[in-house]
Chain A
Amino acid sequence: MKVSMFITCISDAVYPRIGEAMARLLAKYGVALHFPTIQTCCGQPAFNSGYWEEARASAKTILEAFEDSDFVIAPSGSCIGMIHHYPKLFEDDPILLAKAEGLRKKSYEFTQFLVNVLGVTDVGATFPHKVTYHPSCHGSRILGVKEEPMMLMRNVKGMELIPLPFAEDCCGFGGTFAVKMSDISGAMVNEKADHVLESEAEVLVGLDMACLMNIAGNLRYRNKPIRVMHLAELLFEGVEHA
């Protein structure tokens, strides 16, 4: 079984600790992740902005990188969601379309893989903090990843999971939207951060570093000492702690 890590460009370049947490956590279940270095970015920034030719250039590295993998796992519902767009992106090229279909079927967001494939809902972590969870839009709406993270979180010992008000509202990131429509995006992230503060949690956890970077950046800008973590990171830390 070849289980490959799709690190995603943002975790690779900015948050390598997420990849590490994922790899070390999965090793505990006997999964030795494989990391093909020819991968770059899923192409979403270009795809969402309408630059499909450019998106294809990037996406081809992903198709190639994971061609002989049995499972592909990424710490992002959004980047896996992008892979779900590949068949549309390559609809005019039968060879790449077949590869795109193949990749779509074997791609998993991290918690999807942990819960639905490995059958793990309790990693044995302890994390004695107040935590609130932001369900990122692409993961929860496009991929339907809703229950998996909840199951994992409910089984963390000592952790108080506080509901985030208006949790399902978008944080305002939206890729190039955050720059193109910066004031609207700013209003949205302000509101999201307000809700995080309202929850009185010490830690904000999520499944997508792009959204978390957005919210964390706003909380830092406002000097709010809330720790922002990817769930893989929280679980790994909790296991080590236990």
Chain B
Amino acid sequence: MSKTDMKGTTVKGRAELALNDDFLRKAVKFTTERLRDGKRKASDDLGNWEEWRERGRQIRLHTIAHLDYYLNQFANQARLNGVHVHFADTAEDAVKITLAIAERKQALSVVKSKSMVTEELHLNQALESIGVDVVESDLGEYIIQLAGETPSHIIIPAIHKNRYQIADLLSKEAGETLPPDTAILAGFVRKKLREKFLEADIGMTGCNFAIAETGSMVLFENEGNARMVSTVPSTQITLMGMERIIPSWSDLEVMATLLPRSATGQKLTVYMSGITGPRRQEDGDGPDEMHIIILDNGRSLQLGDPEFQELLNCIRCGACLNACPVYRHIGGHAYGGTYSGPIGAVLTPALNKNIDQWDDIASASTLCGACYEACPVKIPLHDMLIYLRRRKVERGLGDKMESIGMRGFAAIMSNSKRYENALKVGKLAQRLVVKDGEITSKLGPLKGWNNYRVAPSLAKQSFRDQWGTMEEEIRHGLQEIDPLVSNRMEEIVRNREAGGKGHD
């Protein structure tokens, strides 16, 4: 294996590659900042953002807590609408059903609109293996399909490509040299994909929300390709995660208020389409046959798990990616899964039971909580990352050196005498490397730190060493406490003892 290949196998290695790709870093930074600012403006303009967010969370919590009822209702209602509903436990099951439909319909070509679920299934490769031509129709998805890559951002899949690279890819497709001009490139794609839409046998979509009470599915998009895919071909196949459900159209108002604002800062995406079954007999357009495949693929593992059930509340807006300082530096591909960013760092390991293969994806976070703050349905991703790390350690899969270090930490920190001794030993040991109160050596355990910083030395006298004399001095010159303040303090203590929540 070459050095580059080795690097590509761990989060750390992939991150290193990304950090050395200047264009990628700048592009990701620029895009995420733009989206983040858009979201901030949109949520400020709306007003009462926290109330909307809380409402969104409550609707999602309620739906997931009663998912057996709502999903069942959705499936039954969709059938009454004339939809063929299928259930898939695994990615393989979903692929099998999709291929069976494609074969039955003797399909030669499929046009797809953006769907993260189909990325989970690696559906394009599967369809191509039975000779079906698959075309991604979202502009960004089309670009990365031509490049043979995977999306690096939920909302902006080709965030990592510049216009020159895109012009090269599209020129190959066009058989002529196209200039790196956005309008011309997009114009070429419009014309090219128009033909594909009109000749495709099957249109394939994802699903942003599914409405239980009426068996309808809802798509949010800006380009119009999802409408094309669900209007023009005679067969529509929709892949949806089993958790996409909301009870009613009224609940959609909350999701429609949160999702576009969080994703791109729009008040609503250019198109929001609610589709209720295939075409009515007398209609002039719309698919004759409609299939909805409902996928589990590890989702149900989160149900009943108090630490992770809220993961299913995710509405796939990508706001956590845009807010995440780690994502901004390493981009989506460094996460190594279908979903990237903070949601990917939690979702990927949670959906896969193979804990030993989690890599160190959950370690790629400072736990700064920006993801939680950005999340329109308040998923505590920063806490979940800690739970993942803990589960790995509990199963004895933690890093060996780290385990030894942590045992040492516990031994020292569980007893203040041992802690004081450790400080003494540390002060002696650091004499070898300290110069002017700093340590600059890049040897040993400080290497990673000192590649970017200098480390401070331990103080000559710790606070606890100084406290005795300091306390005496302070008590000597102590001021009188303001009786108002002292009353307030007493009241706080009384309230607390009476069962108050405390100051938060």
Interface string of B369-407 (1 = CB under 8 A from A): 110110000000000001011111110001000110011
Q: Bound state CA distance, A35 and B19, in angstroms? A: 45
How far, in Å, is B473 (CB) from chain A's closest CB?
9
Tell whether, in the assembled complex, residue A117 and residue B462 are in contact, meaning their CB atoms are under 8 Å apart: no
Tell whether, in the assembled complex, residue A30 and residue B480 are in contact, meaning their CB atoms are under 8 Å apart: yes
Task: Known A49-B402, A172-B366; judge A30-B478 contact (CB<8 A).
Answer: yes
Instruction: Judge if A155 is at the interface, Cβ distance under 8 Å.
Output: no
Tell whether, in the assembled complex, residue B369 and residue A141 are in contact, meaning their CB atoms are under 8 Å apart: yes
Tell whether, in the assembled complex, residue A46 and residue B363 are in contact, meaning their CB atoms are under 8 Å apart: no
Q: What residues of chain A lie closer than 8 Å to B2, measured between beta carbons?
A: none
Instruction: Judge if B492 is at the interface, Cβ distance under 8 Å.
Output: yes
Tell whether, in the assembled complex, residue A217 and residue B463 are in contact, meaning their CB atoms are under 8 Å apart: no
Tell whether, in the assembled complex, residue B503 and residue A105 are in contact, meaning their CB atoms are under 8 Å apart: yes
A40 in complex: contacting residue of B398, B416, B484, B501, CB < 8 Å: B416
Within A1-56, the residues touching B (CB, 8 Å) are 1, 7, 9, 11-16, 19-20, 23-24, 27-33, 35, 37-41, 43, 45-55
User: B363: nearest residue on chain A (CB-CB)?
Assistant: A180
How many of chain A's residues touch chain B, expressed as a range?
35 or more
Tell whether, in the assembled complex, residue B19 and residue A184 are in contact, meaning their CB atoms are under 8 Å apart: yes
B370 in complex: contacting residue of A30, A32, A168, CB < 8 Å: A168
Instruction: Judge if B477 is at the interface, Cβ distance under 8 Å.
Output: yes
Q: Bound state CA distance, A179 and B445, in angstroms? A: 8
Q: Bound state CA distance, A71 and B491, in angstroms? A: 12
Tell whether, in the assembled complex, residue A179 and residue B449 are in contact, meaning their CB atoms are under 8 Å apart: yes
Q: How many residues of B contact A (CB 8 A)?
A: 92
B474 in complex: contacting residue of A32, A170, A179, A218, CB < 8 Å: A32
B406 in complex: contacting residue of A15, A46, A70, A141, CB < 8 Å: A46
Listed by A's residue number, 6 A-B pairs whose Cβ atoms lie within 8 Å are A23-B474, A29-B481, A45-B406, A181-B364, A187-B25, A188-B326
| B residues at A contact (CB < 8 Å) | 11-12, 15-16, 19, 25, 325-326, 329-330, 360, 363-370, 372-373, 386, 388-394, 398, 402-403, 406-407, 409-416, 419, 423, 426, 438, 440, 445, 447-459, 461-467, 470-471, 474-475, 477-482, 484-486, 488-490, 492-493, 496, 500-504
Given contacts A170-B370, A188-B325, 20 further A-B contacts (CB under 8 A): A11-B463, A29-B479, A32-B478, A40-B416, A41-B419, A51-B409, A53-B410, A55-B410, A61-B416, A104-B502, A119-B485, A169-B325, A177-B367, A179-B448, A182-B448, A187-B25, A189-B453, A217-B453, A217-B454, A217-B455
| A residues at B contact (CB < 8 Å) | 1, 7, 9, 11-16, 19-20, 23-24, 27-33, 35, 37-41, 43, 45-55, 57-58, 60-61, 70-71, 84, 104-106, 108, 112, 116-119, 137-138, 141-144, 168-170, 172-191, 213-214, 216-218, 220-221
